[in-house]
Structure 1
Amino acid sequence: MNTTMAITLIGMVSIAVVGVSGRRPRSGELGEWTVGKRKFSTFTTWFLQAGEAFTTFSFLGLAGIAFGGGVAAAFALCYLAINFILQYFTAPRMRELGRKGGYLTQADFFTDRYRSPLLGKVVAVVGAVFLLPYLQLQITGLGMIVQLATGSRTGGNLSMVLATVLTVAFVLWSGIRGIARVAYLKDALMIFGLVVLLIGVAVSVRGGIGGLFETVRDSHPQLLTFHQEGYDATFFVTAVIISGIGGGLGTMAHLWPPVLAAVSGRALRKNAVWLPLYQIALGIPVIVGFAGILMLKPGSPANSVALTLAGQTLPGWLVGVVAVAAASAAMVPSAAIVVGISSLLSRNLLSARNERTQLRTNHLCVVAAAALALVLGLTRPGLLSDLLLLTYGGLTQLAPAIVMGLARKVRLDAVPALLGILTGVGVLIWLTFGSVDVGTVDTGLIALVPNLVVTAVAQLVVRSRSLAAVPAEAN
């Protein structure tokens, strides 16, 4: 075992130890495990909400897009800005409704606001199904990170298993409190790892960062425009819109517990104002991706750019530190996603009679979801590649019903909301698996159009029937 691998494994175990140190819920109830006592401070909520900004995508995907698509990688910075603007208005309202209605999950919102347990169950299924590939991405990405950092495929697989077991352990023990505790460490590691990587690249590339972009401008000017194959202006605009809607309107179930656990709406608004500071750090993988254009051979695997450059520019022990930082960026989001999936299944789909039974069922769902994602990551890493494209697009189909449900008075009925969601999801699946050529337009955005049309038409039908029934009853 080399130094890099040893540091990586020790780091992952340390992350789990920090998570286990979070206070174990004494009540044995799902509510305490999922949202605590709804009194998380601004500081704690900050790190819980920030967890979604730093994932394995930050290390692997963002640098890879910059390597192959140039400035198109900036879409991540743009959609996050939209996310935080929308969250300034939506998150406090979600928390307010959650406190009054006792929500623990996203599906609770649908059940309560639309007075439809069936709608809640459908949303629970949609949320769990479309979050599963996102969970598998984090686990598979972690294995890739360790493999690239150590040069050992066996080490990568071992790390996937170890990280999954450790994540499940601290999630079962501490719930959201453990995730919050680890989030502090994870963000510190991420910032340190990215800065170290940036310094290594800046020292190694000719002319430093300034010279890097001058060289790219002269030798690869097309990368500074939206004219790369697959990364044109249409991709950029539609990806920003669909991702901004998805995150800003709370369509992803694992984003709800941090909001519901916040001490106040004011805390959430303050975070929405200051969380965009994290986008500064996300600029580092973009710079690293551009450096890869000059320092790596053409045709190199895009997702390996960041870790390959780390291996070329940093000593082994520092590569290990960067790998630990990247591992934390997989473990913390994985923990949050597991909580989101398991809570939906145990509380809304299986609907156990009391909270203690819900908690036991929830723990089984945690193990099952993590195990399924791990098995797919080890045996069929490409199996969910198409489904992964549906994650944001599929969950965005919940957006119209969420917006209507956040209003003071819900003017949309449950049946139209349900039909709209099913239509959007159905169209999205057809576009993705039916080999329909839509160019670089995001399929989730296309599917949102029939979703809205069906919702509107169904609502008109329901209301017209209601109005027609009133005179009949009067007579």
Structure 2
Amino acid sequence: MSTVTFLAVLGGTSLLAVAARWFRPPPELPTLEDWALARRQFGTPTTWFLLGGTIYTAYTFAAVPGLVYGTGALGFFALQYTVIMCPLAFVLLPRLWSAARRHGYITPADFVRGHYGSPALALVVAATGVLATMPYIALQLVGIRSILSAVGLYPRGALGDLALVAVFAVLAVATYRHGLRAPAIISLMKGAAVFCSILAVSFLVLDRFGGPGPMFDSAERALSGGETTQASLTLDPSQFPVYATLALGSALALLMYPHVLTAAFAASGPDTLRRAAVALPLWTAVLGLFAMLGVAALAAGIQPPSTGAETAVPLLVKDLMPAALTGLVFGALTVGALVPAAVMSIAVATSFVRNIYVEYFHPRATPKHQTRIAQMVSLSTKVGAVVFVFGLRNQDAINLQLLGGVWILQTFPAVALGVFTRRLHPWALLAGWMSGMAAGTLLVVHSGFSSLVPLGVGGQEIQAYAAVVAMTLNLTVVVTLTPLFNRVARTHTPASSSPVPLPPEAETIT
């Protein structure tokens, strides 16, 4: 029965994806803005579902409770970073949208190109976004495959791989034809399925343990008696730096991903984004319920495979729920992977076309030609993600995604700070980006692909999130070099000549 329900959810999602052409039909002449941003006409409900479905991925819903199961209180940092992210989104996204709408920007690198007048800085922002997003797409498939395998809904061998490819192929075709409209309409089903399933699971879990108090007590005893003696549901003071830097760095990095900004740019206006941002904490509440399931898995004595703590909650769901509801939950998680994967592929394709292909290879490409290339790149991105999943280890995708989070945060000074000031020199931003990228990569690789690195502060060694350490170096370089580059620019400007006016794109956003 669970398989029937699971297939019914996927079948309904596939029908919605195919029917996306009726969701605000495109004009006769295709344009990249229409394909990638749906003509910037999504209202508040659609924007809220699309942003939530893009930010809160299926892997997040599986990894956060798995982290709570394995590490205890430290795993709850994900709730804090989504709480921090919401006010940042309220302030930052409407300003970026206003600049994008005024000047016709489609990607964050477009904004950097126009704001600073620096093709080199725009290129590194676009390339960083592409590199950071590609493993994120593969990670969605990795998470889904491991979850479904753990609960017996993923057939062994080639049959299971073909089933996953078939589901992904329907989405690929729908996205190829209809662009952002396909994941936008699927996000409506994702929201409904995720909200309903987590409420049902939470009710059954609390009913089984007699409330949250007994459940947390049982989980604490399970943690204290486990192999990881340092794990606890109470945060130790020595973990405060790790917790704080993970929460802050993850919140700042999340809003820099191209797929999040693509979903934001598709809104109908800045007020739409503000209303959607105000309601985003509802998604955080859902994530909190998923995190609570990690506690419930500890209390229930669930024993996942040694290599996959993220399967603890799926095993708990299979153990607690009726077969029909089990299929609904895993169907919701699978749909939850399709929405962000589709938006990510669109964002990658758009960044490549606008900021690499047109900028350096085909400056006179027509809007129709740009759209066709973006469609092909989007399709190739999905094929590449599937090949990556089947050809490499799951850990490879996780390692690259960890690096991606470090990399994407290094674009924060150029993109986010550029919204509020134009005093930063583009060459200083470029030097800061290079420093942050090099330092962050070396820190993560040297620590064995761990995002946490040791630091010596005040004679004591603490751990911190590598992305925050790298961005601190990045900002230090930017702040130090900006006055020097500005002084050099003034020195080489003839005294008799008037200053060169900045382009309209570099106007401060008000």
Question: How does the TM-score come out when normalised to structure 1?
Answer: 0.92
Distance 2:271 2:197 in 1: 32
1:158 aligned partner: 162
One of 203, 225, 235 as aligned partner of 1:226: 235
Determine whether 1:25 maps to 2:14. Answer: no
1:458 aligned partner: 481
Distance 2:304 2:326 in 1: 23
Distance 2:170 2:62 in 1: 22
One of 211, 220, 229 as aligned partner of 2:214: 211
Q: Which is worse superposed, 150-159 or 133-142?
A: 150-159
1:43 aligned partner: 45
Q: Secondary structure at the match of 2:40?
A: coil
**Unmatched 5+ stretches in structure 1:** none
2:319 aligned partner: 312
Could you list the per-position Cα deviations for residues 216-252 of structure 1 after superposition, in whole angstroms to 9, with x for gaps in the alignment?
3456465222249xx93332111101011123xx311
How far residue 333 of structure 1 moved from its aligned partner, in angstroms, is: 0.8
Conserved 8 A contact 1:34-1:339: yes
1:220 and 1:384, CA in 2 relative to 1: closer, same or farther beyond 3 A?
A: closer
One of 264, 270, 280 as aligned partner of 1:265: 270
1:385 aligned partner: 398
Q: Which is worse superposed, 110-119 or 85-94?
A: 110-119
2:465 aligned partner: 442
1:435 and 1:243, CA in 2 relative to 1: closer, same or farther beyond 3 A?
A: closer
Alignment of 1:113-124 (within 5 A): 113-124=115-126
Q: Secondary structure at the match of 1:21?
A: helix
Distance 1:146 1:220 in 2: 26
Could you list the per-position Cα deviations for residues 61-95 of structure 1 after superposition, in whole angstroms to 9, with x for gaps in the alignment?
01101111122222111111111111111111111
1:400 aligned partner: 413
Distance 1:377 1:103 in 2: 33
One of 424, 428, 431 as aligned partner of 1:419: 431
One of 325, 328, 351 as aligned partner of 1:321: 328
1:202 and 1:58, CA in 2 relative to 1: closer, same or farther beyond 3 A?
A: farther
Distance 1:52 1:356 in 2: 27
Question: How does the TM-score come out when normalised to structure 2?
Answer: 0.86
Amino acid at match of 2:347: G
Amino acid at match of 1:464: R
2:79 aligned partner: 77
Distance 1:470 1:448 in 2: 32
Amino acid at match of 2:113: T
Q: Secondary structure at the match of 2:54?
A: coil
1:302 aligned partner: 309
Distance 1:402 1:209 in 2: 42
Q: Which is worse superposed, 11-20 or 144-153?
A: 144-153
Conserved 8 A contact 2:55-2:340: no
Conserved 8 A contact 2:49-2:187: yes
Conserved 8 A contact 2:222-2:298: no
How far residue 299 of structure 1 moved from its aligned partner, in angstroms, is: 6.6
One of 441, 444, 454 as aligned partner of 1:432: 444
Q: Secondary structure at the match of 1:224?
A: coil
Distance 1:467 1:53 in 2: 43
1:311 and 1:218, CA in 2 relative to 1: closer, same or farther beyond 3 A?
A: closer
1:186 aligned partner: 190
Amino acid at match of 2:261: W
Conserved 8 A contact 2:121-2:430: yes
- Please tell me the root mean square deviation across aligned C-alpha atoms, in Å: 2.3
Q: Secondary structure at the match of 2:151?
A: helix
Amino acid at match of 2:217: E
2:14 aligned partner: 16
1:262 and 1:19, CA in 2 relative to 1: closer, same or farther beyond 3 A?
A: same
1:47 and 1:161, CA in 2 relative to 1: closer, same or farther beyond 3 A?
A: same
How far residue 148 of structure 1 moved from its aligned partner, in angstroms, is: 2.3
How far residue 53 of structure 1 moved from its aligned partner, in angstroms, is: 4.0
Amino acid at match of 1:82: I
Distance 2:383 2:236 in 1: 41
1:258 and 1:136, CA in 2 relative to 1: closer, same or farther beyond 3 A?
A: same
Alignment of 1:270-289 (within 5 A): 270-289=275-294
Determine whether 1:168 maps to 2:180. Answer: no
1:141 aligned partner: 143
Determine whether 1:246 maps to 2:253. Answer: yes
Amino acid at match of 2:182: G
Amino acid at match of 2:285: I
2:491 aligned partner: 468
Amino acid at match of 1:446: V
How far residue 163 of structure 1 moved from its aligned partner, in angstroms, is: 2.7
How far residue 139 of structure 1 moved from its aligned partner, in angstroms, is: 1.2
Conserved 8 A contact 1:142-1:160: no
- The percent of aligned pairs where both chains have the same amino acid is 26
One of 289, 296, 318 as aligned partner of 1:291: 296
Determine whether 1:343 maps to 2:346. Answer: no
1:359 aligned partner: 371
1:243 and 1:30, CA in 2 relative to 1: closer, same or farther beyond 3 A?
A: same
